[in-house]
Structure 1
Amino acid sequence: MIMKKVLGIVNLHSNASLGQITRNRPIASTSLLGRYSFIDFPLSNFANSGIADIGVLIKEKPRSLFRHLGMGKEWNINTKVGGISLLYNEQYANNNAYNHDINNLLENKWLLDNSRANYVIIAPCHLLFTMDYTKLIEFHEQTNTDITVVYKKVDNAKNHFIGSSFIVKDGEYLSTIRTNKGDKNHRDIFMETYIMSLEKLKAIMNCGLETSQFFTIKDTIAKRAKEEKISLYEYKGYLRCFDSESSYLEYSLELLNLDVANQLFTPSWPIFTRTYDTPPARYGVNAKVKNSYVANGAIIDGEVENSIISRNVRVKKGSKIKNSIIFSHSIIEEDAYIEYIVIDKEVRVRFVKEHIGSLDNPLVIRQGDVV
């Protein structure tokens, strides 16, 4: 059933970066598992929850995102009652201090002015999770507060989620939001996901502007927590924060483990993405593939182990790839050895045949390079 009175917003105004991997693209349009892009997950969460009216707040590097999303038809959005609106703030695109979510919404204020939504749900893209927002809406409606924020209890915050935000509780309400510096394992990680009324979002924006021209929605909610009750919704599913080259490699390869993948992917919650008319992968007589994901259009005649091979990649005879990710249209020539490497699109490994990184410090070969 289409939820006509909910506006979904994907907020790409995050400082998270994947290093060289996001040099020419945002995290939102970065490849995941050789098939998806990160933005497919928040869009699918909205679509599967019956939310058809969606805005995407774009911070930077919009070209690849425009190309990936197109008209938005792949995400099962009923365009008769909604659609996907791409919102970009050109005025502050090159000024990081002013290029934040509140200013983007002000620049594109028609989205809120034209909306008839009772509720707005805001979600990020660099935090990977699946969530049924109908349950969040039901929870929020049972509270006596104007805002509900989402968090997850974790026990690995000393080594993960460094630089992410965590919440401090005041009983069952929000006290404040702080930055995780890795000094404790047990944290309530703030998932940068909120639900509030349309009018409350407008009030939050006004409060932010009155406080500081640099304030974001998150900054303003942290400030408002000292003056009003803000409810907390605990999420208990799969959550990973992609915010570095090493986290990208580690968490992507982790999804080759079926037990982990089943936490993110379930038959009842499809992840929609853009489809391509490419033939099935082809395997030569020398091909050996173990515990790997190989996308359509790939041609494999070497050895691939515990790796992710994207569309139209070619791995030639004698080459060995281990614990690595190869983006689309790249060519690995004969007798190469690749381990703990992220190879971007349209790369050709031709002259320097051995490339070895580590899980904590992977080597990234930039888009279009010949090495």
Structure 2
Amino acid sequence: MKDVLAVVLAGGKGSRLEPLTRDRAKPAVPFGGSYRIIDFALSNCLNSGIRKIMVLTQYKAMSLDRHVTLGWRGFLCRELGEYIDVVPPQQRIDEKWYQGTADAVYQNIYTLEKERPEHVLITAGDHIYKMDYAKMVAAHVEKKADLTIAALNVTIEEARSFGVMEVDPENRVRGFEEKSPSPKTVPGQPDTCLASMGVYVFNAPFLFDELCKDATLPESAHDFGKNIIPSIIDQRRVFAYPFLDENRKSHAYWRDVGTIDAYFEANMELTSVDPPLNLYDRHWPIRTYQPHLPPAKFVFDSEEGEKPRRGEALDSIVCPGAILSGGMVNRCVVGPGARVNSYATVEDSILFAGVNIGRNCKIRRTIIDKEVCVPAGLEIGYDLEADRRRGFTVTESGVVVIAKADGIPVG
């Protein structure tokens, strides 16, 4: 894998995840308590033996840059040709922001060419999954492909949000359509479509040539799915690579957490007895930045009248530094350094790092952003109209989101 350069696209606005992306890029949004979304793509690279990684950023990148710097750069040796570099827009070619996924790579083409890779792996930094990219590169070489696209079976309804492929019996791509309202189904499987995961392996010289060609087309959206892939499948060797899940469960795990509801559900899945995503597998560890915090603490076990005062967590993830000081959480993800005070009850919720839940609070189906302090006695998630009047975001499924900058009025 020494001749493979990984490019992680991490510059999207993530507008459907607002207000969680109000102050951070989508790949920097916390996930599962201790992690950030981008940790999964970076861990896949590292576990696959890829040691040359460029993270292309754009919007609100400070939090993401800080996370990668603190958690990822320290154990790679640049003298041995190993690195993870965060690359902001440099406007070396154009004064515009990145216009599409292909344009993001094109505007950094000089940096990529300087590394002289044989193959370039391109992946998004905003999906949750485990995948061995080395196996995909090996299949790419074996097929003598110009481009290999990671493929996932999805339902027809899901396929409308993806690029959908038609393949022959050898998995050679014969058709490709981006976000079609009537996606083509897999032959013999009328309810299933073959979707692009947005993970590509290119022969490097071929990629550079195609990026330069596409950049000269004023009508192009400069996007891999919309423009480059459809333009090459008739003339070049383009293959689909079926997703091989390293999660080691009965069903393949891949999640697009691009909306608040999807993000909430993916986190809540982690609190189940046998979660579909295995974060405890030493075979495929997910790495991240771990701040120096003490172990989680659970204190008080007493009765005052009919009201118990007990630090308790049921079916929950509780991160280091968290203190359940006489409060109870159930089916929750409790972030690093969060605190739940006496007589508070928190259910089906996500507390980011440093959140402080006041005494006697009742909270359910709520995402609370970093370091928000919830005043004593407040109820959230029970009266959604009252939550909207407070200025909180409420999704269609009734998930309440409290952003860092919102503040919580007392009384």
Q: Tell me how far apart the structure 2 counterparts of residues 131 and 78 of structure 1 sit (CA, whole Å).
A: 24
Larger radius of gyration: 2
State the secondary structure of the residue aligned to 2:20. helix
Q: CA RMSD in A?
A: 2.6
Taking the aligned partners of 1:295 and 1:72, their CA distance within structure 2 comes to 17
Instruction: Name structure 2 gaps, 5 residues minimum.
Output: 186-190, 246-252, 301-309, 385-394
Per the TM alignment, residue 368 of structure 1 is displaced from its structure 2 partner at its CA by: 4.3
Question: Given the superposition, is the C-alpha separation of residues 369 and 71 from structure 1 closer, same or farther in structure 2, using an over 3 Å criterion?
Answer: closer
Structure 1 range deviating more: 103-112 or 61-70: 103-112
Look up the match of 2:30.
31
* Structure 1 residue aligned with 2:222: 215
Query: TM-score, normalising length from structure 1?
Result: 0.90
Number of matched pairs: 366
Aligned counterpart for 1:283 among listed residues 298, 317, 321: 298
Alignment of 1:78-227 (within 5 A): 78-79=77-78, 80-89=80-89, 91=91, 98-155=98-155, 157-158=156-157, 160=158, 163-171=161-169, 172-174=171-173, 175-179=175-179, 185-212=191-218, 214-219=221-226, 220-227=228-235
Structure 1, residues 334-353: CA drift from partner, whole Å, max 9, x if none? 11111111000111111671
One-letter code of the match for 1:179?
A: K
**1:247 corresponding residue in structure 2:** 262
Relative to the length of structure 2, the TM-score reads: 0.82
CA positional deviation for 1:13: 4.4
Q: Is the CA contact (8 Å cut-off) linking 1:130 and 1:264 kept in structure 2?
A: no
Partner of residue 352, structure 2: 327
What does residue 337 of structure 2 align with?
Answer: 312
1:41: which partner in 2? Answer: 40
Q: Structure 1 residues 76 and 364, CA, compared in 2 at 3 Å: closer, same or farther?
A: same
Please state how far the C-alpha of 1:145 moved relative to its aligned partner. Answer: 2.3
Counterpart-to-counterpart distance in 2, 1:7 and 1:178: 26
State the Cα distance separating 1:94 from its structure 2 match: 10
Q: Is the 8 A contact 1:44 1:75 kept in 2?
A: no
Given the alignment of the two structures, is residue 337 of structure 1 paired with residue 336 of structure 2, yes or no? no
Report the 3-state secondary structure (helix = DSSP H, G, I; strand = E; otherwise coil) of the residue aligned with 1:22: coil
The answer for the alignment partner of 2:380 in structure 1 is 355
Superposition deviation, residue 190 in structure 1? 1.2
Partners of 1:137 and 1:195 within 8 A in 2 = yes
Alpha-carbon deviation of 1:73? 4.0
Instruction: Give 1:55-94 correspondences, 5 Å limit.
Output: 55-70=54-69, 73=72, 76-79=75-78, 80-89=80-89, 91=91
Following superposition, the deviation at residue 230 of structure 1 comes to: 0.9
Q: Which runs of 5+ in 1 are unaligned?
A: none
Sequence identity (%):
25
* Counterparts in 2 of 1:230 and 1:352: CA distance versus 1, 3 Å: farther
Aligned AA (1:233): Y
What are the Cα deviations for residues 229-273 of structure 1, in whole angstroms up to 9, with x where unaligned? 310100142111111000000011112224334556521111111
SS at structure 1 position matched to 2:115: coil
